[in-house]
Amino acid sequence: GSTNLESIQILKKPGGSLKDSFLDEGFILDKKIGLGQPKRIENANILVANTAMDTDKVKIYGARVRVDSMAKVADIEAAEKQKMREKVQKIIGHGINCFVNRQLIYNFPEELFADAGILAVEHADFEGIERLALVTGGDIASTFDNPESVKLGHCKLIEEIMIGEDRLIHFSGVAMGQACTIVLRGASEHVLDEAERSLHDALCVLSQTVTDTRVIYGGGWPEMVMSKEVDELARKTPGKKSHAIDAFSRALQAIPTIIADNAGLDSAELISQLRAEHHKVNSTAGIDVISGGLGDMQKRGICEAFKVKQAIVLSATEAAEMILRVDEIITCAPRRREDRM
């Protein structure tokens, strides 16, 4: 019932064809599981963090440390390691079995996590980590002194899966039950980008249709009905106004024309047929791009969301009105004047 698309993750993986795309319950993180760490965790308690796990090196730029023996260097390294060990102990103290960090996790802390049987995931991309926190019901933490105030995320199962040649981490049975991942496959990045845009458009239309469930026939049917009514009004209207109304009627017919052109059909032929068909009473004819001719939209079950169609017509009309009213919007480049000195 919500129109929030945040819990739907779209993951693009080159390789295969678009037909190999699939919908998966839960959340998929595009990361590998580290060496020596558990590959499968049931009833996971997840700590999602954005913290530096590389402080086992002194990172004060411009600082110089002078020592008089190699033993002192060893002492500094030991102190750094101890500092990191304490930080890892604080994190383990939260009672977790999965730690996902936005930043890098260096070898030493990763080793400590592996020894404790905790799955540590480093460098999870920002959108990924924010969405993971959302769907598992946890908060993104950056300090670990007060375990009781940190909200952990939960899921029933974490496991490693393969998509194509890549290994990914799959979180299933997440706290936000309706969260899901759509994995898109395609031959190239361009195909995947186009598929993602199309999918996003479809999801937006669906989310709006949930709030307003009215639908109308598609395939250029609504535009032809509106065009016919506006045409009749133009004939009844005296004076110059009728020219503007007539132009509006022609503009409405641009949508079915574009539908036909995009499908590689003869738009001039189809629109004239469609116009004739719509002069019959209660016609439900529209452009059927599959058969390449006219089709009955009611029998074919081709529909569009009323809310989306309404928004399209209103915004296009307002844009056209604005351009016509304000003569300064479309201006020519100023004429260059020759130097008259």
Q: How confident is the model at residue 56 (pLDDT cuts 50, 70, 90)?
A: low
Q: Domains in the chain and their CATH numbers?
A: 27-57+65-176 (3.50.7.10), 217-322 (1.10.560.10)
pLDDT at 332: 59
> What digits encode the pLDDT tens for the residues 131-183?
888 888 888 888 888 888 888 888 888 888 888 778 888 888 876 666 788 88
Q: Token pair for residue 177?
A: 């039950």
pLDDT at 1: 59
Q: How confident is the model at residue 190 (pLDDT cuts 50, 70, 90)?
A: very high
> What digits encode the pLDDT tens for the residues 20-38?
888 888 888 888 887 778 8
Average predicted confidence (pLDDT) for the chain: 84
pLDDT at 59: 62
Residue 330 above 60 pLDDT?
A: no
Residue range 276-299: mean pLDDT, rounded: 88
SS3 content of the chain, % helix, strand, coil (to 5): 40, 25, 35
> What digits encode the pLDDT tens for the residues 102-120?
888 888 888 888 888 888 8
pLDDT at 328: 57
pLDDT at 315: 94
pLDDT at 162: 87
Q: Computed from CA positions of residues 252, 256, 259, 263, in that sequence, does the dihedral angle turn out positive or negative? A: negative
Q: How confident is the model at residue 205 (pLDDT cuts 50, 70, 90)?
A: confident
> What digits encode the pLDDT tens for the residues 218-263?
888 999 999 999 999 998 988 888 888 999 999 999 999 998 999 8
> What ranges make up the beta strands (E) of the chain?
8-14, 22-25, 27-29, 40-49, 98-101, 119-121, 140-141, 153-163, 166-174, 180-186, 215-217, 285-288, 293-296, 303-305
Chain centroid to Cα 115, Å, comes to 37
Residue 314 above 90 pLDDT?
A: yes
Q: How confident is the model at residue 60 (pLDDT cuts 50, 70, 90)?
A: low
